Amino acid sequence: MRRVLLQLLTAAALNLPALGALAHAFLDQAMPPVGGAVPASPKEIRLTFSEGIEPRFSGIEIATGAGQAIATGPAFPDPADDKQLVLSLPPLAPGRYRVSWHVVSVDTHRTEGDYTFTVGR
């Protein structure tokens, strides 16, 4: 009986689905802030990641709250900090915007995410 219980307990323990290792490159800071509001159109989006990124495989896109893409140039790294990715913005009308980013860290892990911010409200 004890042996069978040990087998069942082992099976239950091996069945635990969560405690796997998580990925590596994460967004540390964002400007404009995640889910926040700014009083006027920002000149740029500046994202700071937890580790250095490969700019050739990284990018930022911005769209209106309705999903319409806003034309911008490509995102570029901050020459002084390889953890930062910057996107210059055209003037934005008041409203809600969605920022989508994807990065490949220097150790080749790809991560992506998105968030929203509001201008002028």
Partner 1 sequence: MGTPETAGDVGGYGGTLNAELDYQFLLNAPHQALGLIGISTGFGHTGRVQALGAPDFTTISPVIDFGKGFGDLPESMLWLRPLAITGTFSFDFPTKTQSAGFPNPNSFNFGFSFQYSLEYLQHHVKDIGLSAPFDRLVPLVEVSFSTAVNRGFGGQTVGTIQPGVIWFGQYVQVGAEAIIPASRLAGHGYGGVVQLHFYLDDIFPNSIGRPLFRY
> Which among 52, 63, 66, 34 has a CA at the least distance from the CA of 111?
52
Task: Say how far apart CA 117 and CA 22 lie, in whole Å.
Answer: 27
User: What residues between 36 and 55 interact with partner 1 by CB under 8 A?
Assistant: 36, 50-51
**Closer residue to partner 1, CB minimum distance, 43 or 96:** 96
Extract the tokens encoding 65. 């709250």
A 10 A CB-CB count for 49 gives 22
Interface segment toward partner 1; rule CB under 8 A; list 28-36, 38-46, 74-82, 84-92? 28-36
Is there binding between residue 71 and partner 1 (CB under 8 A)? Answer: no
Q: How far is the CB of 26 from partner 1 (least distance, A)?
A: 6
Asked if 116 interacts with partner 1 (CB under 8 A), we say yes
107 contacts partner 1 (rule: CB under 8 A): yes
Neighbours of 71 (CB within 10 A): 6
